[in-house]
Structure 1
Amino acid sequence: MRAGMLAGIGGLAAIPARATPLQDPYGTWTIQAENDAVSTLKGTSDQYYTSGLRINWTSGTDNQPAPIETLNHAILGPGVTRISLGVQQTIFTPHDTQAVNPPAGDRPYAGLMLGTVNLINDTDLSRSVFGIQFGVMGPAALGRQLQNGFHNLIGDTPNRGWSHQLQNQPIFQVQAGRTWRLPLADLYGIEMEMLPAVAAAAGDYRIYGSVADTFRLGQGLRSDFGTPTIGSGTDGTDAYRLTRPLAWYVFGNVTGYAVGYDATLQGNTVRNNSPHVPVNWDVGEIHAGVAVMWHGMRLSYSQTWQTQQFRGARSGLFNFGSVDLSAKF
């Protein structure tokens, strides 16, 4: 064990702080689904953040048009560049989904359809992301149609209060984040590392700042910077490059948010009678999961436990599951 630890420390010493990772010519397609029905706690199904779907494309390295490369380096500094383009839909419902008139103090019905454009910049020991999200919150996001259509398909009861959802509103936010890689040890081929991260966003969708740390254990950890969740917006973690034929890891993450504004909780910006609830400014999350990369594909599953996002929430720790499949072409 001592020899393995010394080998790991020696390997760290050989890595320059801003070393450039190897090129990756292949783009990455990702499809991801999140749902509160995939839950380890009883009583949180089909309420609050109830569903998320995302499709995303991430380019290969250093093959964007020259103006985009120049912009990436101007904002994020030296490193290997990518661009990420995606679309996502998220659905939020109250605790009581069978009330035709949802009671005051419960989370409003809301659907969002958002496009995402992110610039990604990698060194061996860091990943930086800067981008925008834009789209619509309200009936145009098709939240009611997707949720109740799926309920009808599986013979479940439709949610009855969608006529009181938040109204159509353009949504926009600027977002940025950085993740650092801190290798810890390599014990007989099993690697361990930490991934501390910071992120922030501002716009009429959300205003928040976050700090996080992830512990990972596995093989081929240098293949990526962790797995994404849909709500984060800074989905640069889709980018990966296999460093061995089979890479895998298990992980645990703790994230803390300071929330200044959330339109899905505080209602439409320009409508005084919009349904709304008071937001909690401090929100914590715990993530745990597993990821496997093989033959250019990555499959991951994670579970998230979240403290209450608004005053009056009834679920205690809210939790949901996330499944992510990526493939390179």
Structure 2
Amino acid sequence: MSVGHKMYTAEDIEEDNPPEDDRPYAGWAYLSSSLIVESGWRQSIADVSVGVVGPTAQGHEVQRAVHDQIDASPEPQGWDYQLHDEVGVVGRYTDRYRARLVFGSGRGVNWGLDIIPGWTLWAGNVYTAAEAELIVRFGANLPDDYGGPIFHPVTNPESFFRPNRGGWYVYARGVRRLVAHNIFLDGNTVRDSRETEKERYVNQLYAGIAFHGPRMRVSATYSMPEHEFVAQQENDPYWAMQASWAF
């Protein structure tokens, strides 16, 4: 189980009335539940997220509270044009397959290379899409899981990992998505709202490094997304840090 909160804004948060072809303002608060099944070479994940999109998600209030704590930070505007309240549901199913090459060992270190292809289907009024992915990682004492932290468009990242003895690895992940529906670009399902023309096909690259021990993993990931909508002026690359502990 996990809880999440996301905010979406136009490029210039100081505009009272953002351009109509920019990303609509929206908040998204949700609860997720996941089921993970693994064999020696295959991982299957089914999860569902349920929450609310719109003012009830408190996107405006959260953004304003954060900006109030930062000196010289602009006051967020444009929230008068956010998406309306709507119950949001999105389900996801993922399959991944792992092939491992072991290069040898010495002094307690096993060097290995993992190649992990996979596919995902999303369905719901929040997000409907299909994606193909390829994960490659190389390192010392690779754990028996399926790559580093996996980040998703509208829900929490996957943080599950298999504890083992200490080691590290570098990894890269490439994703190709076909997007049928994205409420944060297409607008509300029933009520009229701001919307913009989305890109049907979206590519995204990730690269990072992870260190793991018997019960923990610490990672840093750099994300390089492509444009998600036609009028988007710039990509938004970012770094993400994650620390996980297995109980």
TM-score interval for Structure 1 and Structure 2 normalised by the shorter chain: over 0.9
1:141 is the counterpart of 2:60: no
Spell out the pairing of 1:1-329 with structure 2 (5 A cutoff). 85-155=1-71, 156-188=73-105, 189-226=110-147, 227-231=149-153, 233=155, 235=157, 237-244=158-165, 246-272=166-192, 274-315=193-234, 317-329=235-247
Give, in angstroms, the shift of residue 103 of structure 1. 1.4
Moved over 6 A (4+): none
Amino acid at match of 2:222: Q
Please state which structure has a larger fraction of its residues in strand. Answer: 2
Q: Is the 8 A contact 2:127 2:154 kept in 1?
A: no
SS of alignment partner, residue 254 of structure 1: strand
Conserved? CA contact 1:131–1:234, under 8 Å = no
The CA distance in 2 between the partners of 1:266 and 1:322, in whole Å, is: 27
Structure 1 residues 225, 240: closer, same or farther in 2, change over 3 A? same
1:43-88 Cα deviation digits (max 9, x unpaired): xxxxxxxxxxxxxxxxxxxxxxxxxxxxxxxxxxxxxxxxxx1111
Q: Any unmatched runs of 5+ in structure 1?
A: 1-84
What is the aligned residue count? Answer: 241
Would you say the 8 A contact 1:129–1:234 is kept in 2? no
The 3 A distance-change label for structure 1 pair 198 and 232 is farther
Normalising by structure 1, we get a TM-score of 0.70
Q: CA deviation at 1:323?
A: 1.6
Query: Helix, strand or coil: the match of 1:318?
Result: coil
Q: Deviations over 1:207-266 (max 9, x none)?
A: 10000001101123234212121536485x42222232x121110111000000000001
Hey, what does 1:60 align to over in structure 2?
none
Inter-partner Cα distance in structure 2 for 1:326 and 1:208:
28
- Give structure 2 stretches of 5+ with no counterpart: none
CA distance in 2, matches of 1:89, 1:301: 21
3-state SS of 1:305 partner: strand
How much has 1:187 moved relative to structure 2?
Answer: 4.3
Residue 159 of structure 1 aligns to a residue in which SS? coil
Percent identical = 25
The SS at the match of 2:153 is helix
Conserved? CA contact 2:208–2:219, under 8 Å = yes
Structure 1, residues 157-188: CA drift from partner, whole Å, max 9, x if none? 12111121111110001210011111133244
Higher Cα Rg, which structure: 1
Distance 1:327 1:174 in 2: 26
SS at match of 1:195: strand
| Aligned residues of 2:98 and 2:116 also touching (Cα < 8 A) | yes
